[in-house]
Chain A
Amino acid sequence: QVQLVQSGAEVKKPGASVKVSCKTSGYTFSSYYIHWVRLAPGRGLEWVGLISTTVGSTRYPESFHGRVSITRDTSTTTVHMEVSSLISEDTAVYYCVRAGAWTNFDYWGQGTLVTVSS
């Protein structure tokens, strides 16, 4: 069965970086894009970026001002997301998601809570 398993919760200080991993299994890794979305307390869902698992190309929202980086390791079918220069507003649950043909997110990781606090 399709599974996306994320790394554990993180607590970081403002200005630090965090890296979250997403191990995929149960399907052909290169057939689907992987996206990251986040859900912050009191706020809705927000798109964080995407990666083409085939060629490794990425796209990010301008709102992150270059602070997000997504990479993939095809040998382990794992995707990594790194957010740098963390601010308190980055506190959220981060999800990796598999995207279908309609850019519909049909499978989700279990979520990783990232807390930014001094």
Chain B
Amino acid sequence: DIQMTQSPSSLSASVGDRVTITCRASQNVRNSLNWYQHKPGKVPSLLIYGASTLQPGVPSRFSGSGSGTDFTLTITSLQPDDFATYYCQQGYDTLPLTFGGGTRVDI
């Protein structure tokens, strides 16, 4: 199985901060890497797919980069609505699909 390791597991930040979350795959997943946001009591939502393509409707302060085994999710100016848990997920042509352990972003 492809293991996905996110870091940090949690972080504290302030409105306006630049936030960076990393995701490392245990083997090459090319650019088949997706990012999700999950707020308590809500349904998770897709932010970025294919490592760097913004899902329609997602604010441009979110961006993704990387390929192979190392990926990054960046929020350029954290907004109050962004406090949530973020997950990466590999979608490479190898099952099982796997997720990172999540990064909780707190105030």
Contact = CB atoms under 8 A, between A and B. Distances in A.
A45 B96 CA distance: 13
Chain B, interface SS category: loop
A108 B91 contact: no
Interface in A69-117: 95, 100, 102-106, 108-111
A45 B87 contact: yes
Interface in B87-102: 87, 89, 91-92, 95-102
Nearest to A47: B97
A45 B102 CA distance: 8
A47 B99 contact: yes
A75 B44 CA distance: 28
B99 A59 contact: no
Interface stretch (B15-23, B45-53, B76-84): B45-53
B36 interface: yes
Contact of B44 (A45, A61, A103): A45
A102 B91 contact: yes
Interface residues of A toward B: which range? 20 to 34
B87 A105 contact: no
Nearest to B35: A104
Nearest to A64: B96
A95 B98 CA distance: 15
Given A44-B102, A95-B44, A111-B43, A104 B96 contact: no
B32 interface: yes
Interface of A: 35, 37, 39, 44-47, 50, 59, 61-63, 95, 100, 102-106, 108-111
27 contacts: A37-B99, A44-B99, A45-B36, A45-B38, A45-B102, A47-B99, A50-B97, A62-B96, A63-B96, A95-B44, A100-B49, A102-B49, A102-B91, A103-B34, A103-B92, A103-B97, A104-B46, A104-B49, A104-B50, A104-B55, A105-B34, A105-B44, A105-B89, A106-B46, A106-B49, A108-B44, A111-B43
Given A45-B99, A102-B49, A104-B55, 4 more contacts: A47-B96, A47-B97, A102-B50, A108-B45
